Amino acid sequence: MNRTKRNLKIVRLMLSEERRLNAGMIGKVQFMMFPVLIFFMSFVLALSSKQLLKSMPMDQVYLVLHSIILIYGLGVGGFALFGERIAQKRFGEVTMLLETPTIHPIDFRSMFLSFYVKDIIYYMLYSIIPLTAGIGLTIPLTGFKLASVLFLLLTITMTFLLGISFSFFLSSMYVRWKAVFGGIVIAVLGAILIGFFTKAYDFAGYIPSIALQRTGDPLYLLLAAVLIIFFSTVAVMTIKVRFGKTVEKFPEEILPTAKRFTFAREYSAFMAKDWIDLIRSKTLMPVVGAYIGPLAFLAVLFWFLGSVLTLPLHFNLIFYAGMIGFFGVSIYGWLNLLDTTLFYEVLPVRVTQIVKTKLLLFTVLAIAMSTAFLIALGILQSEWEMLWISLIVAYSTTAYTVTSTAYLTGLRTNSYLFDPKTLGKFAAVVIPPLIVLTILSLYYTNDRLFSSAAILAISGLLALMTVAFYRRIEKRWDRESFMF
């Protein structure tokens, strides 16, 4: 097999590895949600382009889009900086194909080049193509030209590649020659700031892919391609990755942490362990992001539809409170992915104790985050008077959704939610109350007294159902094993 053929085969294998790793980590459903969300968002934005262009010139729309894509590319391209981490493991003891050069006769640069190509294909499929497809699908409704959409695909692809290759180049410089890295960063930032404050030139115009979008001149396409190849080649040639573990040391924390969680009584030790896992695995931020991220996205989207596109849409605080309950499931899923539970099998510990520990820790996290989110949104939307009822809705729906999820899926949330039977039960349990609460939240301003009474009654019912599900967790999972 020649070198190119071999490398292409490795790229294919790495793509399968990436897909399986991500699907295994966050669950296949959540894994597919991201491109679907991007597709949906660009579809909605493209549909509303007529209104959008009333308040924003076309050039500015392109500039915003390319800037987002450029930042995205820069964000995912720091390979050299995280090389050791991605080469060894992601989320636990996972040995990646990238580690092959440690035991097989293949040079690391070839493997890393394959890894780089794989990541480019992966991000293209995962975000750039769904984004363009969303716009493309509106062609019959908006009258966009197919050629324009394809040209946009070309220019944003170049922007993405410029971002990812420049970031890769910068990270390689950082690892090898910090002074060179510092010099490049200062020069680029300086050029951006001078251009911004003096208005002497438009820095964005110097980015070849943006210039290509504006002028259609193929010279910029050539320039962009040359830069991408230059950055990538230098980065691959200079990348330095040390194999072997970077070992961290930690002070003793389990006993003082367990003392801090004494309110959890017999669950305090387990809760302390999960809390330490959350911090040391650096999962706390992704957990917060998985909870607040979709809510913030909804808030921004509805603000955009209502304020910028002036569509007659307004979702009040009670609506978001209901949604909070729904997104709580992702935190519970994350908590179940933190660490292996296999070692519990040889200790006098029941599966139900650990399920209840996850629920307790979830409660601590969810109360803090949902309260902060609702207060912040209440201020932004000037809906202070709804805060009390919104908090009741948030707490009751969260408790109900997560306790029913714990009852249905135990410690294997992501696996079970992919089982159509369990997913069906989950949908039957969770969706109807959410729909009723959403309708009541929309009706709230029309008849506050009736809506409040109905919302409180539903919240009370959900609280009772929560207690019922919680009690049944024992029966459902008590004899279950920790072994998968």
Residues that bind other proteins (CB under 8 A): 92-93, 245, 247-255, 258, 268-270, 272-273, 276-277, 280-281, 338-340, 342-343, 345-350, 479, 481, 483
Give the integer Cα–Cα distance in Å for 282 and 272: 15
Q: Is the dihedral of CA 274, 280, 283, 288 positive or negative?
A: positive
Q: How far is the CB of 362 from other proteins (least distance, A)?
A: 18
Q: 337 burial class (0-12, 13-18, 19+ CB within 10 angstroms)?
A: buried
Residue 242 CB, nearest approach to other proteins (Å):
15
Residue closer to other proteins (CB basis): 351 or 417: 351
Nearer to other proteins, 336 or 401 (CB): 336
Least distance in angstroms from the C-beta of 93 to other proteins: 7
| Tokens encoding 328 | 């709580």
Report d(CA 229, CA 225) in Å as an integer: 6
Shortest distance, CB of residue 52 to other proteins, whole angstroms? 47
Nearer to other proteins by C-beta: 268 or 405?
Answer: 268
Question: What's CA 229's distance to the chain center, in Å?
Answer: 29
Distance CA 210, CA 29 (A): 35
Which CB atom, from 157 or from 283, has the smaller least distance to other proteins? 283
Nearer Cβ to other proteins, position 113 or 278?
Answer: 278
Question: Of the two residues 267 and 444, which places its CB atom closer to other proteins in the complex?
Answer: 267
- Per the rule left: phi > 0, alpha: psi between -120 and 50, beta: everything else, 315 is beta
Nearest distance from residue 279's CB to other proteins, in Å? Answer: 8
Is the CB of 127 or the CB of 352 nearer to other proteins?
352
| Shortest spacing between CB 175 and other proteins, in angstroms | 22
The minimum distance between CB 281 and other proteins, in angstroms, equals 6
Please report how the helices 284-303 and 28-47 are oriented relative to each other, as an axis angle in degrees rounded to 10. Answer: 20
Q: Which is nearer to other proteins, 202 or 480 (CB)?
A: 480
Q: How far is the CB of 290 from other proteins (least distance, A)?
A: 19
